[in-house]
Amino acid sequence: MPTPFDQSTYQVRLDWGVEGLGRLAPADVVVVVDVLRFSSTVADAVAAGATVSLADAGEWSRNGAAVAAAAERATVLLGSVRNAGAVARAIAVEQERRQARTSVAVIAAGELDSTGGLRFAVEDHLGAGAVIAALTDLGIDHTAPDAAVAAEGFRALRRALRHMLSASGSAREIAVGVPATDRMTAAGLRPTTATEAAELDAIDAVPVLRDGVFLAFA
């Protein structure tokens, strides 16, 4: 039964974390946005021709990987500032393949605090907004209010992306040092830096989850 918070009347929806994904009506496509650093790093790896297993990613990403695992019944894409335009184009391709209106849930991963609670992450709000704005530019623009606010926030701040991301709490935490960095390196991945994560449409690669593995959408 529809709820006031499921955004089911809109094609493009936005919520936060695993709980947010469960709150939304089921969508055809789920875009996981974890800018620092899950979605950015996996997108860079896929752009370089690599694949990344979801199980391995779960060893160094508590939030983004958990959302992706919870969304496996949908087509799961990873979105970020770095590939926002490419993600929007992939969704347009998916809609063309389906020959039907395709619903999209954009899930900002946020950050998990020491108690396991979800914390707002400015970089994920901007990354989600970048993807939603790119969808709007392609005419996929029937957006829920939550999604529209993120898109317009991104448009207003796009010239300040580098500052916003590098000054975020997540970037400062990474600069101090977090265990995930060593785990990513041990897995053969080069973590995307905060400066790189702020580069709009730097790459065309879109990771899609197929049989537990992220590979390039085609």
Mind listing the pLDDT tens digit for each residue in 145-195? 999 999 999 999 999 999 999 999 999 999 999 999 999 999 999 999 999
Are 186 and 38 in contact by the 8 Å Cβ rule? The answer is no
20/168 Cα distance (integer angstroms):
22
Q: Which tens digit of pLDDT belongs to each residue from 37-79? A: 999 999 999 999 999 999 999 999 989 999 999 997 899 999 9
37 class by beta-carbon count within 10 Å (0-12 exposed, 13-18 middle, 19+ buried): buried
The predicted model scores a pTM of 0.97
What average pLDDT is seen over the chain? 96
Q: Are strands 12-16 and 75-79 parallel, antiparallel or unpaired?
A: unpaired
Q: Quote helix, strand, coil % in the chain, to nearest 5.
A: 45, 15, 40
